[in-house]
């Protein structure tokens, strides 16, 4: 299209935005999106899908503006929970937890929240501008990515593991492989047959990524918070100039952010990649090219800003293939495409020719919506940061019940709730063995992408040769080199720095055999070996990826075992495990109570039990009628709020027992 | 004109009829639960969401959506089978996928567990290559495929044992050697064929129309010429009897009382006869082709044996 016609179309589109109804829709959409993205277990896709029916009765332009606003808001919203309670609201915010939560622990929560907000808006604007200006060439480059390139790109994302927990590379690699292993349960992507289901029908649907994300972060994090005796998650030091500090911080790294937003936008434009991959890769890249990579993870502004900017730049990116080719770049873009289609608009090259006004209004709304997002987000940050003023023992039951609700609402499945609770417990056990849940999450997110690309590549290679396609094609060579650099540099750096300290003292000691870390690694190794056997029974392409993954689990397990054997005993902190076990039991109790009592009644009962236990047993308040009534009222209030949100707003049907 | 007239007539007739059927007929007196066995926002979900308003007008009660995605729709169908057959539980699904799931161990149900209420739309399989490809006719495609059995053409399909996969398997059984590669969804498939990573793609019409300006459509797997794809031959008329389509279907647990079943069929016929519904669904790439429950029953019966053979053929030839 001519540049001048484009600008006039754009100007007309921007004028449409000033319509009061469109403005209102933008504010409401952003607010709904942010809240949806923030809640654990409700991903961007779910938020969009649940909001979609409301747009059917709107005119086409308004409907698209609304969906775009929800999309942007939800993509950013995940950061709030990631920073405040270390539980990313959606997979795109995993990388934000690394530095964001560190900031919260230092009392800089507000600064972190504002940074995420501003960086998200920044990335969102860059992404939308790139969409506007370059969508045709971008989509052309995106098409060059065949399955072999996707495979290596995801492997490249996986190499972030090596940098994630310095000094313990093997353990984070082990965690990543466990995550990859979890992602293989269910139907295999090649032939569509069930595997690793052990005749349990519920497992055929696989372990949902969002459920696992909720369990790995929200649930296990809540159990972890119970360990310490502090009354609050972290101290919030209110600084009057937090917003300004964040603004200055974001402005100071504007060059880095622009670069990383462009990268994020590009990754978002690849069909099938998305915010999670973009934020992980950009975090790792920005960290690697930093003068002092070690400061990352300790609460630096860039650590929050880069992944958030890239994540939101993906919004524009994922619309590139949609606008240029009519192909949705992500699950969220697919829902947006549904919105376009149901309005009678066909996405693709025809859209800009036949409905240029609608298309340009939509694209300019994506730029404008980021400004609205700063306004709405600013208010919500004020509200959200109050979470830190709430006693920990009130937050924990709330987040646990919210996670249960979120996990349930994804597929209306009580089995998913069970998966949430059990894998959450497992994730806590891994956490105690210093295998970070974030590394497992990385595996869970990238596993399906890697396997799908691998099996497609293997099948394509039947018509040529596998080495030629998977190793010696230009795209493959590029990403293989990048991955090798990314994997080896941190290992090399760690060796050079800590070489004298840890290398020389390796003395195996039989006493270590009984230590928890050793036993945990042993369990992982044995499980890996068991699943190697199971994978060997699978036929064809379906068995290849699991075989490789579980061999890695077993091999890495053995390496970790050897490391553990030679470790000097470290004095462990005294931790109150009774509370952790009890709260886990309370959460399990909810699962058992749902059928006889009804969903919300069960949530209410367990919420009150947790609140009472917290008040009387943990905080040792006096056992008075007043305190008991406070617990009861608080439990009723929170459950009611959850009920209002999920039953009325989101129309999630829940099992009924004695009562609702 | 000949195509518009019957539908216009139907619309007029439906306007003349009382909106909620005849007196004494069964009608729901509370909301009807609809199981959507796929993710919200997908094609099957849209099929139901786009007539949500009309359902309310027709039956006087709203639909209450229950999403049960998982295992290509098998989880939702398995769940529906155990719901009471009282008219308050229905589902929207996709045929033949719902049947294929029973043959691959994904679903714990059989087709006898359901009553059929009707078909609302058909999506036929189409064979496409990218514009730049030298394989721009079916003849060239077949010729090239047969000339290089050792380096087979890579042909993507968009869903394991979905209509496109069935069409590809049928074509292969007719002596066109191919390397059939299941892609994870229509979008990935189209991207791969546009990028030149696949020689061709067996897709469905609904997923390809957006991009049709960048594609060659070689053939369509329907019985007659397709109105949306003028000038595109059918496989059958070029000597390859390959027909495959995905049907969006409405089902209920088996054992629905006769009056309830008849009421639903009549109601859906009226809903899908409305002009604005037709144009809305056509705009969403799912043009209405309404067929009765009996017709669906006949389709299921007719396909039963062939489905078994195809699955057997597929498991015997995959990975080769």
Do A176 and A93 have their domain in common?
A: yes
Do A142 and A262 have their domain in common?
A: yes
pLDDT band at A570 (very low <50, low <70, confident <90, very high): low
**β-pairing, B215-220 with B114-130?**
antiparallel
What 3-state DSSP class applies to A509?
coil
- Domain locations in chain B? 4-122+245-308, 124-244
Are A49 and A60 in contact by the 8 Å Cβ rule? The answer is no
Establish if A139 belongs to a structural domain: yes
For A143, the closest of B105, B194, B210 (CB atoms) is B194
Q: Kindly report the nearest CA distance between residue A567 and chain B, in angstroms.
A: 45
Query: Which residue would you say has higher pLDDT here, A621 or A547?
Result: A547
Please judge whether A143 and B195 are an interchain contact, meaning their C-beta atoms are less than 8 angstroms apart.
yes
Return the structure tokens found at A588: 């399990």
Q: Cβ of A258 under 8 Å from any chain B Cβ?
A: no
For A348, the closest of B46, B195, B211 (CB atoms) is B211
Q: What is the 8-class DSSP label of residue A569?
A: P
Q: Kindly report the nearest CA distance between residue A12 and chain B, in angstroms.
A: 25
CATH topology of domain B4-122+245-308: D-Maltodextrin-Binding Protein; domain 2 (3.40.190)
- Angstrom distance (rounded) from CA B26 to CA B102: 32
- Angstrom distance (rounded) from CA B209 to CA A252: 47
Please judge whether A328 and B72 are an interchain contact, meaning their C-beta atoms are less than 8 angstroms apart.
no
Do A54 and A192 have their domain in common?
A: yes
The dihedral through the CA atoms of A597, A642, A109, A426 has a sign that is positive
Interface test with A, best of B38, B67, B130, B149 (most A CBs within 10 A): B67
C-alpha distance from residue A415 to each of A200, A211, A412, A478 (Å): 11, 11, 9, 42
- The pLDDT tens digits of the residues spanning A103-145 come to 998 888 889 999 999 999 999 999 999 988 887 787 788 888 8
Q: Kindly report the nearest CA distance between residue B106 and chain A, in angstroms.
A: 7
- Angstrom distance (rounded) from CA B248 to CA B119: 6
Residue A187 sits at φ, ψ, to 5 deg, of -80, 135
Q: Kindly report the nearest CA distance between residue B185 and chain A, in angstroms.
A: 10
- The pLDDT tens digits of the residues spanning A261-314 come to 999 998 888 876 678 888 888 998 888 888 888 888 888 999 999 999 999 999
For B183, the closest of A331, A456, A541 (CB atoms) is A456
Do A25 and A174 have their domain in common?
A: yes
pLDDT score recorded for residue B171: 94
- Angstrom distance (rounded) from CA B51 to CA B68: 19
Instruction: Determine what percent of chain A is predicted with pLDDT higher than 90.
Output: 28
In a 13 Å sphere around the CA of A557, the CA atoms on its Cβ side amount to 21
Rg from Cα positions in chain A: 25
Residue of B nearest to A146 (CA): B197
Tell whether the model's pLDDT for residue A1 goes beyond 70. Answer: no
Q: Cβ of A274 under 8 Å from any chain B Cβ?
A: no
Please judge whether A348 and B179 are an interchain contact, meaning their C-beta atoms are less than 8 angstroms apart.
no
Establish if A454 belongs to a structural domain: yes
Establish if A114 belongs to a structural domain: yes
Establish if A479 belongs to a structural domain: yes
Helix (H) / strand (E) containing A331: helix A331-342
Interface test with B, best of A74, A205, A654 (most B CBs within 10 A): A205
Q: Do domains B4-122+245-308 and B124-244 have the same CATH topology?
A: yes
Own/partner pairs for A163-166, CB < 8 Å, 24+ apart? A163/A284, A163/A287, A163/A288, A163/A293, A163/A486, A163/A490, A164/A98, A164/A436, A164/A438, A164/A439, A164/A442, A165/A434, A165/A436, A165/A439, A166/A294, A166/A490, A166/A494
Instruction: Determine what percent of chain A is predicted with pLDDT higher than 70.
Output: 94
Do A240 and A325 have their domain in common?
A: yes
pLDDT score recorded for residue B3: 47
Nearest to A312 by CA among A141, A131, A125, A43: A125
Secondary structure tally for chain B: helices H, strands E: 12, 10
Interface A-B, measured as beta-carbon pairs within 8 A, has a size of 173
Please judge whether B214 and A325 are an interchain contact, meaning their C-beta atoms are less than 8 angstroms apart.
yes
Q: Kindly report the nearest CA distance between residue B59 and chain A, in angstroms.
A: 19
Nearest to B71 by CA among B35, B115, B102, B113: B102
Nearest to B251 by CA among B65, B53, B112, B124: B112
Question: Looking at chain A from residue 143 to 202, which residues have their Cβ under 8 Å from any Cβ of chain B?
Answer: 143-147, 186-187, 189-194, 201
Q: Kindly report the nearest CA distance between residue B40 and chain A, in angstroms.
A: 6
- Angstrom distance (rounded) from CA B218 to CA B201: 10
Do A477 and A615 have their domain in common?
A: no
Partnered with residue B215 across adjacent β-strands are B130
pLDDT score recorded for residue A496: 67
Please judge whether B53 and A56 are an interchain contact, meaning their C-beta atoms are less than 8 angstroms apart.
yes
DSSP strand E in A449-522: where?
none
Q: Cβ of A463 under 8 Å from any chain B Cβ?
A: yes
For A462, the closest of B104, B179, B188 (CB atoms) is B179
What 3-state DSSP class applies to A348?
coil
Nearest to B142 by CA among B171, B115, B111: B171
Are B217 and B225 in contact by the 8 Å Cβ rule? The answer is no
Interface test with A, best of B197, B200, B320 (most A CBs within 10 A): B197
Interface test with A, best of B210, B228, B315, B317 (most A CBs within 10 A): B210
Burial (Cβ within 10 Å: 0-12, 13-18, ≥19) of residue A245: middle
Q: What is the 8-class DSSP label of residue A614?
A: I
pLDDT band at A241 (very low <50, low <70, confident <90, very high): confident
Do A499 and A586 have their domain in common?
A: no
- Angstrom distance (rounded) from CA A563 to CA A196: 30
- Angstrom distance (rounded) from CA A653 to CA A598: 11
* Average per-residue pLDDT for chain A: 85
Do A583 and A476 have their domain in common?
A: no
Average pLDDT, integer, range A169-185: 91
Pick the CATH number of B124-244 from 3.30.70.260, 3.40.50.300, 2.40.110.10, 3.40.190.10: 3.40.190.10
Please judge whether B191 and A321 are an interchain contact, meaning their C-beta atoms are less than 8 angstroms apart.
yes
Choose the final residue of a domain: A504, A527, A562: A504
- Angstrom distance (rounded) from CA B71 to CA A453: 19
Please judge whether A50 and B71 are an interchain contact, meaning their C-beta atoms are less than 8 angstroms apart.
no
Please judge whether A411 and B69 are an interchain contact, meaning their C-beta atoms are less than 8 angstroms apart.
yes
For A53, the closest of B49, B179, B191 (CB atoms) is B49
Query: Which residue would you say has higher pLDDT here, A237 or A207?
Result: A207
For B52, the closest of A53, A190, A348 (CB atoms) is A53
In total, how many domains does chain A have? 2
Are A87 and A330 in contact by the 8 Å Cβ rule? The answer is no
pLDDT score recorded for residue A166: 59
Burial (Cβ within 10 Å: 0-12, 13-18, ≥19) of residue B13: exposed
Establish if A420 belongs to a structural domain: no
Tell whether the model's pLDDT for residue A500 goes beyond 60. Answer: no
- Angstrom distance (rounded) from CA A465 to CA A475: 16
pLDDT score recorded for residue B250: 93
In a 13 Å sphere around the CA of A97, the CA atoms on its Cβ side amount to 26
Angle between helices A437-461 and A414-432 (to 10 degrees): 110
Residue of A nearest to B199 (CA): A460
Q: Which residues of A touch B65 (CB under 8 A)?
A: 651, 653
Q: Kindly report the nearest CA distance between residue B24 and chain A, in angstroms.
A: 31
Establish if A34 belongs to a structural domain: yes
What 3-state DSSP class applies to B123?
strand
pLDDT band at A508 (very low <50, low <70, confident <90, very high): confident
Are B296 and B116 in contact by the 8 Å Cβ rule? The answer is yes
Tell whether the model's pLDDT for residue A655 goes beyond 90. Answer: no
Do A342 and A219 have their domain in common?
A: yes
Dmax over Cα atoms in chain A, in whole Å?
77
DSSP letters spanning B155-205: EEESSTTSHHHHHHHHHHHTT--EEEEE-SSHHHHHHHHHTTSSSEEEEEH
Partnered with residue B181 across adjacent β-strands are B156
Do A473 and A583 have their domain in common?
A: no
For A271, the closest of B78, B154, B187 (CB atoms) is B187
Question: Looking at chain A from residue 511 to 570, which residues have their Cβ under 8 Å from any Cβ of chain B?
Answer: 539-541
Return the structure tokens found at A113: 């929240």
Residue of B nearest to A463 (CA): B151
Q: Kindly report the nearest CA distance between residue B310 and chain A, in angstroms.
A: 14
Note the helical H segments in B200-257. Answer: 205-208
DSSP letters spanning A426-443: HHHHHHHTT--HHHHHHH
What 3-state DSSP class applies to B248?
strand
Cα dihedral A157→A41→A224→A432 (10° resolution) = -40
Give the CA angle between residues A224, A226, A232 to the nearest 5°.
110
Are A632 and A626 in contact by the 8 Å Cβ rule? The answer is no
Please judge whether B42 and A271 are an interchain contact, meaning their C-beta atoms are less than 8 angstroms apart.
no
CB-CB neighbours of A481 under 10 Å: 12
Q: Kindly report the nearest CA distance between residue A651 and chain B, in angstroms.
A: 8
Choose the final residue of a domain: A469, A484, A504: A504
**β-pairing, B89-95 with B32-36?**
parallel
Per-residue buried b or exposed e for A76-110, using 16+ beta carbons within 10 Å of the residue's own CB: bbbbbbbbbbbbbbbbbbbbbbbbbbbbbeeebbb
pLDDT score recorded for residue B153: 93
Q: For A45-54, A65-74, A527-536, which range has the lowest pLDDT when averaged over its residues?
A: A45-54
Do A226 and A344 have their domain in common?
A: yes
Do A100 and A214 have their domain in common?
A: yes
- Angstrom distance (rounded) from CA A396 to CA A400: 6
Please judge whether B53 and A194 are an interchain contact, meaning their C-beta atoms are less than 8 angstroms apart.
no
Q: Cβ of A648 under 8 Å from any chain B Cβ?
A: no
Q: Which residues of B touch A142 (CB under 8 A)?
A: 191
Choose the final residue of a domain: A504, A528, A552: A504
- Angstrom distance (rounded) from CA A428 to CA A423: 8
Q: Which domain holds residue A218?
A: 3-389+436-504
Interface test with A, best of B71, B152, B287, B320 (most A CBs within 10 A): B71
Dmax over Cα atoms in chain B, in whole Å?
68
Average pLDDT, integer, range A418-445: 89
What 3-state DSSP class applies to B319?
coil
Average pLDDT, integer, range A51-55: 78
Partnered with residue B63 across adjacent β-strands are B32
pLDDT score recorded for residue A270: 80
- Angstrom distance (rounded) from CA B312 to CA A17: 57
- Angstrom distance (rounded) from CA A321 to CA A122: 22
Q: Which residues of A touch B283 (CB under 8 A)?
A: 341-346
Please judge whether A326 and B320 are an interchain contact, meaning their C-beta atoms are less than 8 angstroms apart.
no
Q: Cβ of A655 under 8 Å from any chain B Cβ?
A: no
Query: Which residue would you say has higher pLDDT here, B318 or A410?
Result: A410
- The pLDDT tens digits of the residues spanning A515-544 come to 888 889 999 999 999 999 999 988 888 889
Q: Kindly report the nearest CA distance between residue B16 and chain A, in angstroms.
A: 26
Residue of A nearest to B76 (CA): A411
Per-residue pLDDT of chain B (320 residues; tens, 9 = 90+): 444 555 555 444 444 444 444 445 788 888 888 998 887 767 788 788 888 888 888 888 888 888 888 778 888 898 898 898 888 999 999 988 899 888 887 888 888 899 999 998 888 999 999 999 999 999 999 999 999 888 899 999 988 888 899 999 999 999 999 999 988 777 788 889 998 999 999 998 887 887 888 899 999 999 888 888 888 999 999 999 999 988 899 999 999 998 899 899 889 999 988 888 888 787 777 788 888 888 898 988 888 888 889 988 988 887 55
Query: What contacts A632, CB < 8 A, 6 or more positions away?
Result: A608
Note the helical H segments in B205-292. Answer: 205-208, 258-273, 275-283
Question: Looking at chain A from residue 376 to 415, which residues have their Cβ under 8 Å from any Cβ of chain B?
Answer: 411-413
Residue of B nearest to A188 (CA): B71
Residue of B nearest to A199 (CA): B105
């Amino acid at each position: 299209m001519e540049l001048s016609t484009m600008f006039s179309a754009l100007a007309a589109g921007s004028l449409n935005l000033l319509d009061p109804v469109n403005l209102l829709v933008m504010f409401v959409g952003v607010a709904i999106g942010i809240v949806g993205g923030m809640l654990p277990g409700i991903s961007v896709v779910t938020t969009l899908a649940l909001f979609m029916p409301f747009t059917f009765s709107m005119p086409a332009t308004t409907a698209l503006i609304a969906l775009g606003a929800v999309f942007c808001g939800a993509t950013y919203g995940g950061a709030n929970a990631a920073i405040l309670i270390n539980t990313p609201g959606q997979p795109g915010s995993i990388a934000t937890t690394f530095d964001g939560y560190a900031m919260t622990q230092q009392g800089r929560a507000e600064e972190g929240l504002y940074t995420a907000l501003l960086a998200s808006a920044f990335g969102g604007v860059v992404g939308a501008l790139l969409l506007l200006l370059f969508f045709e060439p971008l989509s052309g480059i995106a098409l060059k990515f065949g399955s072999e390139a996707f495979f290596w790109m995801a492997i490249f994302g996986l190499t972030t593991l090596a940098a994630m927990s310095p000094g313990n590379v093997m353990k984070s690699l082990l965690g990543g492989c466990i995550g990859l292993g979890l992602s293989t349960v269910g139907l295999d992507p090649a032939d569509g047959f069930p595997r690793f289901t052990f005749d349990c029908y519920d497992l055929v649907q696989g372990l949902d990524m969002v459920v696992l994300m909720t369990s790995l972060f929200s649930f296990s994090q809540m159990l972890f918070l119970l360990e310490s005796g502090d009354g609050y998650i972290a101290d919030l030091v209110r600084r009057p100039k937090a917003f300004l500090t964040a603004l200055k911080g974001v402005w100071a790294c504007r060059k880095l952010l622009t670069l990383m937003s462009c990268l994020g936008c590009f990754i978002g434009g690849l069909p099938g990649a998305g915010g999670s991959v973009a934020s992980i890769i950009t975090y790792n890249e920005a960290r690697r090219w930093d003068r002092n990579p070690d400061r990352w993870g300790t609460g630096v502004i860039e650590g929050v800003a880069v992944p958030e900017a890239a994540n939101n730049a993906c919004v524009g990116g994922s619309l590139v293939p949609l606008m240029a080719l009519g192909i949705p770049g992500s699950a969220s873009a697919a829902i947006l495409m549904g919105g376009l289609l149901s309005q009678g608009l066909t996405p693709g090259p025809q859209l800009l020719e036949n409905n240029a006004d609608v298309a340009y209004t939509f694209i300019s709304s994506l730029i404008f919506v980021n400004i609205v997002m700063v306004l709405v987000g600013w208010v919500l940050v004020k509200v959200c940061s109050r979470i830190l003023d709430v006693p920990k023992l009130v937050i924990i039951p709330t987040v646990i019940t919210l996670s249960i609700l979120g996990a349930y609402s994804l597929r209306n499945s009580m089995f998913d709730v069970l998966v949430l609770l059990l894998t959450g417990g497992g994730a806590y056990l891994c956490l105690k063995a210093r295998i970070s849940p974030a590394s497992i999450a990385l595996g869970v997110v990238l596993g399906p992408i890697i396997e799908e690309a691998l099996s497609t590549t293997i099948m394509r290679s039947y018509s040529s040769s596998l080495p030629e396609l998977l190793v010696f094609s230009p795209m493959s060579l590029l990403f293989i080199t990048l991955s090798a650099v990314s994997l080896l540099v941190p290992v090399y750096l760690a060796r050079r720095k800590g070489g004298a300290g840890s290398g020389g003292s390796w003395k195996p000691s039989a006493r270590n055999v009984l230590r928890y870390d050793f036993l945990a690694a042993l369990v992982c190794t044995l499980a890996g070996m068991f699943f190697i056997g199971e994978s060997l029974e699978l036929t064809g392409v379906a068995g290849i990826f699991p075989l490789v993954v579980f061999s890695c689990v077993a091999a890495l397990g053995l390496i970790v075992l050897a490391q553990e054997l030679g470790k000097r005993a470290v004095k462990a902190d005294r931790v109150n495990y009774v509370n952790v076990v009890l709260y886990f039991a309370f959460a399990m109790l909810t699962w058992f109570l749902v059928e006889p009592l009804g969903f919300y009644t069960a949530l209410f009962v367990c919420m009150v039990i947790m609140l009472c236990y917290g008040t009387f047993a943990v905080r040792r308040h006096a056992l008075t009628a007043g305190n008991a009534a406070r617990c009861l009222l608080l439990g009723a209030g929170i459950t009611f709020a959850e009920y209002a949100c999920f039953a009325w707003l989101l129309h999630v049907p829940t099992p009924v027992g004695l009562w609702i | 004109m000949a195509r518009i007239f019957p539908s216009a007539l139907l619309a007029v007739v439906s306007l003349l009829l009382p909106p909620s059927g005849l007196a004494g007929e069964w009608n729901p007196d509370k909301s009807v639960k609809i199981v959507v066995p796929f993710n919200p926002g997908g094609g099957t979900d849209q099929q139901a969401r786009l007539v949500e308003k009309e359902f309310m007008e027709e039956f006087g009660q709203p639909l209450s959506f229950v999403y049960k995605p998982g295992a290509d729709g098998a989880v939702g169908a398995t769940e529906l089978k155990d719901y009471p057959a009282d008219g308050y539980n229905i589902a929207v699904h996709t045929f033949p996928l719902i049947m294929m799931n029973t043959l691959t161990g994904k679903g714990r149900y059989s087709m006898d567990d359901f009553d059929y209420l009707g078909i609302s739309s058909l999506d036929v399989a189409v064979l496409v290559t990218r514009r730049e490809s030298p394989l721009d006719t079916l003849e060239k495609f077949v010729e090239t495929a047969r000339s290089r059995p050792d380096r087979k053409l890579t042909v993507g399909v968009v869903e394991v044992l979905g209509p496109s996969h069935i069409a590809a398997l049928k074509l292969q059984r007719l002596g066109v050697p191919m390397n059939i590669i299941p892609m994870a969804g229509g979008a990935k498939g189209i991207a791969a064929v546009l990028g030149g990573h696949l020689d061709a793609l067996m897709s469905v019409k609904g997923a390809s129309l957006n991009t049709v300006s960048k594609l060659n459509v070689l053939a369509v797997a329907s019985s007659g010429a397709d109105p949306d794809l003028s000038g595109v031959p059918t496989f059958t008329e070029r000597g390859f009897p390959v027909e495959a389509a995905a049907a969006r279907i409405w089902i209920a647990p088996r054992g629905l009382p006769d009056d309830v079943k008849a009421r639903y069929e009549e109601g859906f016929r009226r809903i899908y006869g409305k002009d604005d519904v037709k144009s809305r669904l056509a705009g969403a790439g799912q043009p209405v082709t309404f067929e009765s429950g009996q017709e669906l029953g006949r389709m299921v019966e007719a396909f039963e044996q062939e489905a078994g053979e195809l699955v057997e053929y597929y498991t015997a030839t995959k990975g080769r």
